[in-house]
Chain A
Amino acid sequence: MTATDPPRTQAPSLFTRARRRLTWVDSFLWVIRVGAVLLIAWGLIGSIQRFTAGLGPTGSQWRDLLVAAIAFGAMYGLIAIGYSMVYGVLGFINFAHGEVFMSGAFIGYFAATALSNGGLWQSNPIIAMLLTLLVSMATSTFMAVLVERVAYRRLRSSPRLIPLITSIGVSFFLQYSFLGLFGATVRTYPTLPPFMTGNIDILGVPVQRSQLLVIVVAAVAMSGLWQFVTRTKTGRAMRAVAEDKEIAALMGINVDRTIVTTFAVGGAMAGIAGMLYGQLYGVSFFMGFLPGIKAFTAAVLGGIGVIPGAMAGGVLLGLFEGVGPLLILGGLGIASPSQLRDAVAFSALVLVLIFRPSGLFGEAVGAEDRA
């Protein structure tokens, strides 16, 4: 560089004027946005070309994958509700929620095994599975409430970072308590009764019965929860506390009780997810970790604090990570795309947040509401 360097000091203002309204961060984000869309489009085109050339999975294989991904996502959605609801009322992320899910699945496993040994699982599978579901829900509910009572209640008036870090501690405590109590082996639920395996035709489309079960149970649970939150007095109290704890208290709402209810409801949903997940994929002390992180991702994706957002975020995340690797990365010609499923899931979160920083269903959060 020489001493005479006029372009720097007397910058021709054409360039500067054009980007006067555009900050560096904004333009950087736009580059990422456009780049991401182009990359995804490229991958999609690649997959479509392969498909039309008769390569890769057939149409019905893609359809099966889609259904499987929705079923997996429905479980994420059920767990995500717990993250979202707790965030809604207390404004912190309860990282122990994945372990609440795990505990339900675990104790549900013991119930199912006992029922199977007793013969009820075989002779009357529906009742046996309902009992297992109840046990799983009860365990998760109990665990969620217990954690709130022991670990979070005393910290309610402290800065939100403190319960957040506490929740990480609780998460490890629960994980390794289960490891100590029950060992590290992966245990499998008794097999599903014959009428729940194989395919069933829904509007001419064959769907795996186990996946249908997951989707139906999740849909029923979610609509039940929605009714509860919108129609009942307790639900209204929960929304009021989420809006403003102090005013809600002034209106005669028992805030403590409402918070316990929130934990309980979130726990129950996690218990349902736990039983479904455990039934399909087995249980181990570590099973709550990744689904927990994914469900948290789903909750943020849908807009944290918003219940329908958690549900939709879960299903969407399931779709992204189930179909995304093969559809986008496969189309880009990347080898072993399934190994990158977690990367795809978390990239999906980043992308959604780049386009909509408050999540799909979220509202813009004021500075004082942020954790």
Chain B
Amino acid sequence: MRMLRKGVRTAAIVAAASLVLTACGNGDTADLTDDTEADADATGDEETDDPGDDPDEDAAEAGDLGSVTYQEGEAIQIRSLEAISGDVAFLGIPNQRGTEIAIADYGDVQGFAVELGTPLDDLCSADGGQSAAQTIVSDDTVAGVIGTSCSGAGVPASELISSAGMVMVSASNTNPALTQTPFGTEGENFSEGYYRTAHNDLYQGAAVAEFVYEELGLTQMAAIHDGDPYTDGLTTAFQDAFTELGGEVVVYTAVNKGDTDMVPVLTEVAGENPEGIFVPIFPPEVNRVAEQYVNVEGLEDVVMISADGAQVEGFLEIAEAEGFYFSGPSLQFEGNNNEITDKSATDFLEDYQEQYGEAPSAAFWAHAYDATTLLLQAIDNVAEVGDDGSLTIDRAALRDELYSTSFQGLIGQITCDEFGDCGAGEIQIILHEDSSVTDATQIPVVYTFVPSE
């Protein structure tokens, strides 16, 4: 009984309160409409003035991104934003060093030195990319950025850097959405002022699809990614290309980073009877897949294909990795010359060994070197020395210059298209048959894909 009474009382209070509120509300909205009408009148007057200002504002969006000026004696600021710590440091550190060597080789830009500043870390994550990019854009003396290592970090970083009017050139982001997907259409994460010397994974997806469909004759494939924009983008590109060729991706699924028990996901895959599995994920997850798939009924004889993320010692060295195919960018840089600095890949590797006491731990050093020379040459071409000896770089002009650059780099012909894809799209498929070979460049190439565009 007590509760009932309480309920009634509450209902009464609610009803009373709502009455009061409606009353107030009515009054308020009436007042508000009056206000807005008054405002509308006021703004209406202003709007008539606006057209005069508008063209300027439009120009600000379209062309005038401002400029950066260095006084005599100051250095041109560029920044490096790579994955230099954590699990993916093997990828980011050679990128950063490639940039350092390129800056040293290029020398001064119109008599101004180039300064890289403290290397920033993209942590191979969206958070890392975001916070590092924020650090960069808060410094308006920065002319351009080399980075990121990971596509996941590249998505927020490119957005921030683009809206600050700066440019960035990545050596190893391959996610299609950062530039174009499908070819000729702006990707979901496209930002102006973003360029890359790495291949677009549309090429890699197409290469794997062609290899699987035409060389191996498989028509039923499975694809497993790990939720990372790089792996997700690559498996999607593969699925699209494979479907277009006439094959079918019978199961498209994902694991989590950090998963150890792959039996559930492999059972899901086995349930659809694929002839092959495309699993472009990283160690250690790819190791677990390699160890466990043979024990899942129905997967004993499937063809396993992984990608460049797994072409590292930590995976290549395990016995279960034998028999895997890997796709990846062409790694045969020998004989290639960067025409801007006139440096050959062989010379670069010698320099690298001498300066850092080891060989590069991943193959994108060449892309980083080319990316840096690309940026420096573009700066060189648009920078203007003023009467007082200062150097001014117009940001919009720098973007346009980059979109129209073309030169011969360490990785081959570099030509930037309107979406920022500059790299060559040559992809190789290798077959790993001996787990004592852990250097990916020493593994025999079984298929080479050259974009037909």
Contact = CB atoms under 8 A, between A and B. Distances in A.
Contact of A64 (B14, B22, B297): B297
A336 B287 CA distance: 20
Contacts of A287: 260
Given A8-B12, A282-B284, A20 B4 contact: yes
Interface in A164-199: 184-186, 188, 191
Interface residues of A, number: 49
A16 interface: yes
A52 B284 CA distance: 36
B8 A191 contact: no
Contacts of A352: none
B414 interface: no
Interface string B272-305: 1000000000011001100000011110000000
B258 A290 contact: yes
Interface in A55-72: 55-58, 60-62, 64-65, 68-69, 72
A13 interface: yes
A11 B254 contact: no
Given A8-B12, A9-B11, A341-B264, A61 B271 contact: yes
Contact of B297 (A61, A188, A335): A61
A211 B3 CA distance: 57
Contact of B22 (A1, A62, A281): A1
B19 A61 contact: no
B296 A64 contact: yes
Nearest to B283: A186
B256 A61 contact: no
Nearest to A68: B263
Interface stretch (A221-229, A234-242, A320-328): A320-328
B67 interface: no
Interface in B8-23: 8, 11-12, 14-15, 18-19, 22
Main secondary structure of the interface of A (DSSP, over half): helix
B226 to A, nearest CB: 8
B331 to A, nearest CB: 23
Interface string A274-301: 0001001110101100100000000000
A208 B403 CA distance: 57
Nearest to B8: A11
Given A57-B267, A57-B270, A326-B264, A281 B288 contact: yes
Contact of B8 (A9, A68, A286, A326): A9
A335 B253 contact: yes
Contact of A184 (B86, B252, B298): B86
B11 A8 contact: yes
Contacts of B265: 338
Interface in A203-223: 208
Contacts of B11: 8-9, 11
Contact of B253 (A72, A186, A322, A336): A336
B268 interface: yes
Nearest to A286: B258
A5 B297 CA distance: 68
Interface string A1-38: 10101001101010011001000000000000000000
B350 interface: no
Contacts of B187: none
Give the interface size bracket for B toward A. Answer: 35 or more
Among the interface residues B8, B260, B298, which one has the most CB atoms of the partner chain A within 10 A? B260
B296 A322 contact: no
B7 interface: yes
Given A184-B87, A284-B284, A338-B268, A322 B261 contact: yes
A341 B226 CA distance: 13
A337 interface: yes
A5 B15 contact: yes
B15 A339 contact: no
B451 interface: no
A178 to B, nearest CB: 16
A342 B227 CA distance: 14
B319 interface: yes
A359 interface: no
A88 to B, nearest CB: 29
A9 B9 CA distance: 8
A325 B266 CA distance: 12
A330 interface: yes
B318 interface: yes
B342 interface: no
Contacts of B260: 277, 280-282, 287
B359 to A, nearest CB: 18
Contacts of A13: 4
Nearest to A75: B261
A57 B273 CA distance: 9
A1 B24 CA distance: 12
A336 B261 CA distance: 15
A220 B410 CA distance: 61
B255 interface: yes
A233 to B, nearest CB: 39
B400 interface: no
A342 B288 CA distance: 18
Contact of B267 (A55, A61, A281): A61
Given A16-B4, A57-B267, A323-B264, A5 B227 contact: no
A57 B284 contact: no
Shortest 6 CB-CB contacts between residues of A and residues of B: A57-B271, A338-B265, A281-B260, A8-B15, A186-B284, A336-B254
Given A9-B11, A191-B319, A326-B267, 12 more contacts: A1-B18, A17-B4, A57-B267, A184-B87, A186-B283, A277-B260, A286-B258, A287-B260, A321-B264, A322-B264, A338-B265, A339-B255
19 contacts: A8-B14, A9-B8, A20-B4, A56-B268, A57-B267, A57-B268, A61-B267, A64-B263, A64-B297, A188-B318, A277-B260, A286-B258, A322-B264, A330-B268, A336-B253, A337-B268, A338-B253, A338-B265, A341-B264
